[in-house]
Structure 1
Amino acid sequence: MTKNKKTLVLGATTKPEKAAFKAIEMLVDKGHSVLALGQNMGEVAGVKIKTKAIPIKNIDTVSLYINQSRQRDYYNYIVEAKPKRVIFNPGTENPEFYQLLQLNNIKVEEACTVTLLTLNKY
């Protein structure tokens, strides 16, 4: 790992069988700062899941675990946070959002956060 990449997991959940849960666990395990936003409050690996979008700064990565239609509610929130990149995990692909992010100089990455962490390519 080269450095701590402050990451927002959008679509966080306390369900251990879900990829968002595994991503939070692995991010914490690898020493990254994690913020979590989900539909229900809870905690994963010591990270409290918030249910309301709070202002965020100095964010490196947003890892999406919500479908295309739910993403629209977060377009402005994510663009205003100015992350370096947004990871679209499998099932979250959204060409409309890609364009908006790219217009704002935010890197779009179609990938799996868990796989990137496993391969040390995060």
Structure 2
Amino acid sequence: MVEEKVESKKTLLVGASPNPSRYAFVAAKMLAERNFDFIPIGIKKGEVFGKEIIDLRTKPQLQGIHTITLYIGPSHQGEWMDYLIALNPKRIIFNPGAENPDFYRKAKSAGIEVVHACNLVMLSTDQF
């Protein structure tokens, strides 16, 4: 039996990295293991779990994004905020180290749920 992807929560993993010591890599692994559909995007080149990392600098037009999970710090978020909000996700998860009150306000005013939590814990405890 082939498992179907969990389409209802297509996740954009921002700050994706092919480096196994990075939390974004661990998140990609957990999403893949739990059969969530995810798109890795960042400035690092490479692949994670069979998916090529999309270059964030190209600001690709993506459809059907339910969740954005951030693995980039606030000092690197500024130029991407408007782009990520324009993707119209249902929620943005600000992982530890990604906290950004300005981004929270912009997202909330656009009707996006803001979650300050650890994506790894959410996945581990079935709260994703």
- TM-based fold match above 0.5: yes
Q: Kindly state the Cα deviation for residue 53 of structure 1 after the two structures are TM-superposed.
A: 2.4
Distance of 1:26 and 1:4 partners within structure 2: 17
Matched with 2:86 is: 80
Distance of 1:48 and 1:6 partners within structure 2: 16
Identical counterparts, % of pairs: 36
Q: Kindly state the Cα deviation for residue 107 of structure 1 after the two structures are TM-superposed.
A: 0.4
Counterpart contact for 1:14–1:43, Cα < 8 Å: yes
Counterpart contact for 2:7–2:37, Cα < 8 Å: no
Which blocks of at least 5 consecutive residues in structure 2 are unaligned?
A: 1-5
> Matches of residues 7-46 of structure 1 in structure 2 within 5 Å?
7-46=11-50
Matched with 1:48 is: 52
Amino acid at match of 1:45: F
Q: C-alpha root-mean-square deviation of aligned residues, in Å?
A: 1.3
User: When the two structures are aligned, how many residues end up with a matched partner?
Assistant: 121
Counterpart contact for 2:27–2:120, Cα < 8 Å: yes
Q: Kindly state the Cα deviation for residue 4 of structure 1 after the two structures are TM-superposed.
A: 4.2
TM-score, with normalisation over the residues of structure 2? 0.90
Counterpart contact for 1:37–1:53, Cα < 8 Å: no
Which blocks of at least 5 consecutive residues in structure 1 are unaligned?
A: none
Distance of 1:33 and 1:21 partners within structure 2: 15
TM-score, with normalisation over the residues of structure 1? 0.94
Counterpart contact for 1:4–1:31, Cα < 8 Å: no
Counterpart contact for 1:68–1:93, Cα < 8 Å: yes
Distance of 2:45 and 2:59 partners within structure 1: 12
